Structure 1
């Protein structure tokens, strides 16, 4: 344990070195093989690499461990963790991006970071419809076993987290500050709920204030942790569009919900759709793009229940079906349930081999 702690100290110290970004951090790691060796090397050897500026070399020479004491003290708190890139709990999905954070600070359930996630992001000042969409999609996707990941910002982000929490599911918030600070401050209660029912995550050391330049950086973690990113509402020039762009660059799926052409908050979504994002009007549009076989590993046990054991909503949908195809709209009319609920229940019934989709977008009972 002592050796692990010493190793962590050097990871944190190197992280704090001035004028040393993520990419230079990894170049130094490749050259010296470990953060500890960076500090143990001679000044001449460090200078000879050409990786470090003078101010960085001076910092590495001093190696003041008191600079990381606040981080170490924080990690002793309940459910507080510091993960380095080589830690077994560091999420494999995040390692695949070009510049994964060398260190992650986590408060809450570390294991959920490695579970299948979908990012939901959008405007800080959404319309009422946008808020409702964020809540509904987050709730429906959570019930299918996906963890909802977002940035805990006002508006769409917050509604996505709340939708997952209200579905009694886990959710992950990636923060642009140190985890000892909550931003925005009004989300203190929400942050506590997330840490108890999921996880708060940050690449920024303890004590880091909400600096504007840190928030675009954290967006690559939101998309990097996730299988795909759903944009609910966004203007053309926004942090949300940065997240969508990063997701596309990372090879992840991008989904966008369309709206009225007169809605300024729909412009970002419409632009993304023009660029190849999937037009999304239901959960089914997202599920169909996820890796084949994924749902079989994450869906709740209710997918294998018999008809008698099905929840009331699923049973009401099932009893309205027959061997003649019915569309989602027709089922909405018959059951008086929302299209999102109908779509979710039909998906569960499909996976349970009770119904199948026809070529005409209808659904029939399996004989």
Structure 2
């Protein structure tokens, strides 16, 4: 897949270009991977839609090329109208992948969403963030831990990201709302839907005091497969993920796995060996997650993390050895790993910090290259 992350950031999309993004995303046969391939080949949704069947068929299957060349259907026209009306409301925003306000960390995951629908305080997407996730069927102690940790993290200046689910997510949002940095809810439905319905009042409060984020088009109902997929956004926007409680087979473990693959810090609270809700956290700890028992331990690690403490485009400290190892020619990450201390997750985090600082460029095919700035 070709890398589209380095398209020059633009101002917010105009209505016509936003319609192009929605048409691309809604085209039959176009998923996230295909969309990124096409953006890498043609540069923008408008260019894709104007490319013509022959040029498109050279990149994607014939049926997908035909869908991209098809006229706007009545259903799509209605969606475009509904979206325009929604966007005209106060505190309603849509960011495209090429907009300057798109979250910097999220832009650099392997499959960033093409569109982010946002309701509430859009400026929170520029804040340092930490995710707090866990079981829907949380224990009383787990909910208390999630509320207490999230409130303290928020008071310390870290915006808490979670998924608006029952249990740990709910407690995390409620705790973070009591702190200074507030909270972001990433949902698996259209942003005009609230799921679960029991969290309707909480969702309204988050929309007023924090913000809600979705990649799904307006009207998208709760679909089981969308919720694990939204987890990549929860981990992708944040510098670290804290798992409070998780069963052995848990969606929270998916979020933690994605976080590790994305080079994020992963933290887990231990629990009783007799508790089913501790088994997932203990598994994470065995696999390398940082065992934490206090908020201070999370804060200490987060404040040391280059992803959490470095503003976008600021040069991270302590990466001279990696820059030296990069040299000046394109290199495979596996080659770097062979000559560096540390594991793949650590290397991914350091490379991402350098990339955000403008010191490293990611090339098609996964290779990376050092960027030399003239004095």
TM-score bracket for the superposition, by shorter chain length: 0.7 to 0.9
| Distance across 2 between alignment mates of 1:2 and 1:297 | 24
Report the alpha carbon displacement of residue 59 of structure 1 after superposing the two structures with TM: 4.7
Instruction: Tell me the SS of whatever aligns to 2:138.
Output: coil
95, 101, 108: which one pairs with 2:107?
95
- Structure 2 unaligned regions, length at least 5: 1-10, 312-375
**Partner SS for 1:12:** helix
Moved more, 286-295 or 146-155: 286-295
Residue aligning to 2:215:
203
Compared with structure 1, are the counterparts of its residues 235 and 19 closer, same or farther at alpha carbon in structure 2 (3 Å cutoff)? Answer: same
Task: Confirm whether residue 141 of structure 1 aligns to residue 150 of structure 2.
Answer: no
The offset of 1:169, in angstroms, is: 3.9
- Determine the structure 1 residue equivalent to 2:354: none
Q: What CA distance in whole angstroms lies between the structure 2 residues aligned with 1:229 and 1:252? A: 7
What secondary structure is seen at the aligned counterpart in 2 of 1:289? helix
| Aligned-partner SS, 1:74 | helix
Aligned residues of 1:17 and 1:60 also touching (Cα < 8 A): no
Structure 1 length as normaliser, TM-score? 0.77
**SS of match in other structure, 1:237:** coil
Instruction: Determine the C-alpha separation between the residues in 2 that align with 1:3 and 1:139.
Output: 35
Residue deviations 1:204-254, cap 9 Å, x none?
Answer: 000000000000110000001111000000011111110000000000000
Residues of 2 paired with 1:296 and 1:248: CA distance?
18
1:41 to 30, 51, 55: 51
**Helix, strand or coil at the partner of 1:212:** coil
Indicate which of 226, 239, 248 corresponds to 1:236.
Answer: 248
Root-mean-square deviation (CA, aligned residues, Å) is 2.0
Who wins on radius of gyration, i.e. which is larger?
Answer: 1
Q: TM-score, normalised by structure 2?
A: 0.76
In structure 2, distance between residues paired with 1:2 and 1:224: 21
Question: Can you list the C-alpha shifts for 1:144-192, whole angstroms capped at 9, x where unaligned?
Answer: 0100000000000000000011235410000000011000011111011
Residue aligning to 1:62: 71
Q: Which SS does the other structure have where 1:186 is aligned?
A: helix
In 2, the alpha carbon distance for the partners of 1:255 and 1:78 equals: 37
Count of residue pairs the alignment pairs up: 297
